[in-house]
Amino acid sequence: MRDDDTSGPARPGTPREPRRRRPLRALAAGIGVLALLGVLALGGYAFYLQRTVEGNIEREDLNAQDDATVTISPDRFGTTQPDDDPDAEGSVDLDGPVETDEEGTAPIVGEDGEAVDVGESEFQAQTPARPAEAGEAQNFLIIGSDSRDLSVERGRSDVIVLMHINDERDRVDLVHFPRDLFVPIAGTGGSSKINAAYAYGGAPLLVQTLQPLVDVPIDHVVVVNFQSFQAMTDSIGGVDVNVAEASPGFPAGVMHMDGATGLEFVRERYALSQGDISRGQRQQAFIQGIMTKALSRETLTNPARLARFVDAATTNLTVDADLQVGEMRDLGFQMRGVRGGDIHFETAPWSGIENHPVAGSIVVMAQDQMATLSEHLKNDTMEDYTDPVSPRSGFGG
């Protein structure tokens, strides 16, 4: 981290004001893209890194904008109903709420409260207007998938993050959307857990589901899988993680983790006090550790370690067809002053966890606070955003 209070080098003609800093809170996913953006601008070494990235990344039609056709096609996992047995495997004791089967997709729920039979269908994508107040701020949707090969299966979206890069290119906000957040699913006429959008229509349907919530256009989409997550950790010699809530095998306190241990750490939820929300907090803590290590002088001044990290970060990285490496490089150059303290972490606002009779255990969205988040994203004023609504303990109302 830098020692001063000001941001990195400004683009020509852009005034620069001192920024207030907030404590670094971590959030799941995004490290692959942040590594890609942050290290491509390192002088003469950039050419080698760009060639590595070009050779590693895959491209797919992940985004859906400007009247593109979005196809709804339920995945091979099918749908499941909530488990009636609170002691069954896959459930968590929340004094009421129970989880749906981990291998299933939450059903779509209509306005009448009944499950909707969703078959093959298509609809035309719509894109929110880009407010003038946002300038050249950019929004990336980052998806953490358990698929080994997106061309064969889309897998499940265990991690959903909106990355907002501000107009001045000196601040990054990562907004984590809990996978069980209950929201309207675009094109279906019903609602479900937000990760069901990915299951029913891949990244394009998730884009169309997320955009109305935040009311800003999603410029690019990135999918990273858990093999990449593990490889990145090992490429920099493991990371130190603050374990705030103990669980079997993970005592409270600072713990050094390699990739395999970290993967186990971030996927746990049943032994944690707030279930899926607590898991998100664990993912945040792990990303805090990996970001601190990846952006440290120890890594950035070590060409061999840096090369291993970039290779690991991009080997299992899939981006939308319109995102070119040259654009990544240019964005990385504009963001060359960004360090760990310039990356900020939020969770999409929620008001409680409930047991839905059809969808199972859901995270209830705090709609008024979501509108507040939307305004700050639209106006590029995330430095002023606060969330006094989301419960900090327990399961809310």
Helix (H, G, I), strand (E, B) or coil at 2: coil
Q: What does the angle CA 135 – CA 46 – CA 139 come to, to the nearest 5 degrees?
A: 25
pLDDT digit string, tens, across residues 172-224? 898 989 999 999 999 999 999 999 999 999 999 999 999 999 999 999 998 88
- Its CATH class, for the domain covering 31-384, is alpha beta
Radius of gyration of the chain, Cα coordinates, nearest whole angstrom: 20
Beta strands in the chain (DSSP E): 58-60, 69-72, 108-109, 115-116, 121-124, 138-145, 157-165, 172-176, 181-185, 190-193, 220-225, 239-243, 253-257, 317-320, 343-347, 350-356, 360-365
Q: Mean pLDDT: which of 76-80, 90-94, 125-129 is highest? A: 125-129
The three-state secondary structure class of 291 is helix
Mean pLDDT on 359-378: 96
CB-CB contact of 63 with 326 (8 Å) = no
C-alpha dihedral sign at 131, 134, 136, 137? negative
Arithmetic mean of pLDDT, 138-154: 70
Distance CA 164, CA 333 (A): 17
Q: Does the predicted TM-score (pTM) go above 0.85? A: no
The span from the CA of 27 to the CA of 25, in Å, is 7
Region 138-152: mean pLDDT is 72
Please state, in angstroms and rounded to a whole number, the distance separating the CA atoms of residues 52 and 56: 6
CB-based burial of residue 255 (10 Å sphere; 0-12 exposed, 13-18 middle, 19+ buried)?
middle
Instruction: Write out the DSSP string of 22-55.
Output: ------SS-HHHHHHHHHTTSGGGHHHHHHHHHH
Report d(CA 309, CA 56) in Å as an integer.
13
| pLDDT beyond 50 at 22 | no
Res 96: pLDDT: 34
Question: Is the pLDDT confidence value at 385 over 80?
Answer: yes
pLDDT at 269 over 90: no
pLDDT tens profile 155-175: 566 788 899 999 999 998 989
Q: What is the pLDDT of residues 3-15, one digit of tens each?
A: 444 444 444 444 4
Per-residue model confidence (pLDDT) at position 84: 34
Strand partners, 369: none
Q: What percent of the chain has pLDDT over 70?
A: 77
Q: What Å distances lie between residue 281 and 168, 392, 396, CA to CA?
A: 28, 11, 16
Taking the domains of the chain in order of start, what are their residue ranges? 31-384
Grouping H, G, I as helix, E, B as strand and the rest as coil, residue 145 is: strand
Look at the block and give the residue holding tokens 């809990």: 178
Which tens digit of pLDDT belongs to each residue from 302-353? 888 888 888 888 887 888 999 888 787 788 778 777 776 788 888 999 999 9
In single-letter form, the type of residue at position 249 comes to G
